[in-house]
């Protein structure tokens, strides 16, 4: 009986270690490069479809990620467990909306219809997992041709 318990325990431990996926090659960071002489604001949204409007109706306040003029921002999302691949593997699209930071700052606390009316979207990235992999996890604004 003692050998049987050890054998079952050994099988369970082996199954546990074999069942854990390898996340070591998954990415936790996206690099955002601003190649303009103005600070930009970015709103990053996950969706099953392309979203070409500012999100401001959901729970909480959507504070933008800002990228300084002619600079690079390493955007690490600790909530992405274990990495960006986790969400994007499920067919999600990462929508990144770009705006002039000064204009966005002026209106982001306003009602949604006001923000959507007065804050133009300078560029809309619609990125799938394959796109980010091809871009080496680096998003450049303005887009390179």
pLDDT for position 29? 83
Compute the distance between CA of residue 109 and CA of residue 115 in angstroms, rounded to an integer. Answer: 8
Whole-number pLDDT of residue 101: 94
CA–CA dist 27, 137 (Å, integer): 8
Q: Report DSSP letters for 54-108, one per residue.
A: ---SSSS--PPEEE-TTEEEEEE-TTSSS-HHHHHTTT-EEEEEEEEHHHHHHHT
Torsion of CA 60, 91, 124, 71, to 10 degrees: 80
pLDDT tens track for 58-92: 544 456 788 999 999 987 755 555 677 776 777 78
Output DSSP code: residue 131: H
Sign, Cα dihedral of 45, 50, 56, 59: negative
Residue 47, token pair as written in the block? 């969706």
Evaluate if residue 24 carries a pLDDT over 70.
no
Domain map of the chain by residue range?
A: 23-141
- pLDDT tops 80 at residue 50: no
Determine the distance from the C-alpha atom of residue 54 to the mean position of all C-alpha atoms in its chain, rounded to a whole number. Answer: 15
């Amino acid at each position: 009986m003692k050998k049987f318990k050890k054998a079952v325990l050994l099988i369970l431990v082996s199954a546990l270690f074999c069942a854990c996926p390898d996340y070591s090659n998954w990415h936790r960071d996206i690099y955002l490069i601003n190649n303009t002489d103005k600070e930009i604001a970015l709103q990053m949204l996950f969706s099953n479809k392309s979203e070409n409007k500012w999100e401001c109706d959901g729970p909480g306040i959507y504070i933008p990620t800002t990228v300084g003029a002619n600079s690079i921002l390493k955007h690490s999302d600790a909530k992405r467990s274990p990495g960006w691949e986790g969400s994007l593997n499920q067919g999600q699209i990462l929508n990144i909306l770009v705006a002039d930071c000064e204009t966005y700052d002026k209106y982001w606390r306003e009602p949604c219809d006001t923000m959507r009316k007065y804050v133009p979207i300078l560029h809309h990235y619609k990125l799938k997992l394959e796109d980010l992999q091809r871009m080496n996890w680096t998003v450049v604004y303005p887009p390179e041709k």
